[in-house]
Amino acid sequence: MQTVILVSSLLTALAASACTRQPVASSTGAADSAAIDSLYRTFRLAYARLDAPAVVDLYRDDALYGSGGAPGFTVGRPPIARNFEGFFRSVGADSATLALRFRFIRRYRQGDLASDVGFYHLRQVKGDSGGRPSVGKFVTVIRRDSTGHWRFAVDTYSDGSVAAFDSAPAYEP
């Protein structure tokens, strides 16, 4: 019984030390955290420009993409590209752009693997008016590839609420 409690306590301590509300900030991890944060900045800018190739480039060749309400996962860059191309084409056909924001709850990182948990806030903007926001939760798994670049290996999201987004920590890369 004591062994179970000790192992449980050790796992809890390791989990607590491996995650923070903001990216890992150590001398060796600071550059990696900045590189991972840049994925989300690129994501936001690509959404604003409706630039599907820039978004797709953030994913690994074998990435899994799980969109809310879909029966399964989209696997690999070409099918993921088709999803973003179709979505951006429909937004552009409506003479609109997209304003995307992220709020992070937790980042886990060890070696060449990281995972982020948070909320997104997406609004279609047409002229001076913004439409009703789409808000949801996301979980990503990010891996460093053989060239040293961090890319999304898993990206999945589901519905959330504006209240949950607003109550999340204010950190946004």
Closest CA to 123 of 67, 47, 49, 56: 47
Q: Do strands 150-159 and 59-66 pair parallel, antiparallel, or not at all (unpaired)?
A: parallel
**Structural domain contains residue 22:** no
**Structural domain contains residue 15:** no
Q: How many domains does the chain have?
A: 1
The length of the chain, given as a count of residues: 173
pLDDT in tens, 35-45: 999 999 999 99
Please report, for the domain that includes residue 162, its CATH number. Answer: 3.10.450.50
Total Cβ atoms within 10 A of residue 130 = 13
- Which residues share a beta bridge with 150? 144
Place of tokens 């979980």: 139
Q: Would you give per-residue pLDDT tens digits along the chain (173 residues)?
A: 333 332 233 233 333 334 443 443 443 588 999 999 999 999 999 999 999 999 999 999 999 999 877 888 999 999 999 999 999 999 999 999 999 999 999 999 999 999 999 999 999 998 777 778 999 999 999 999 999 999 999 999 999 999 999 999 988 88
**Structural domain contains residue 107:** yes
**Structural domain contains residue 60:** yes
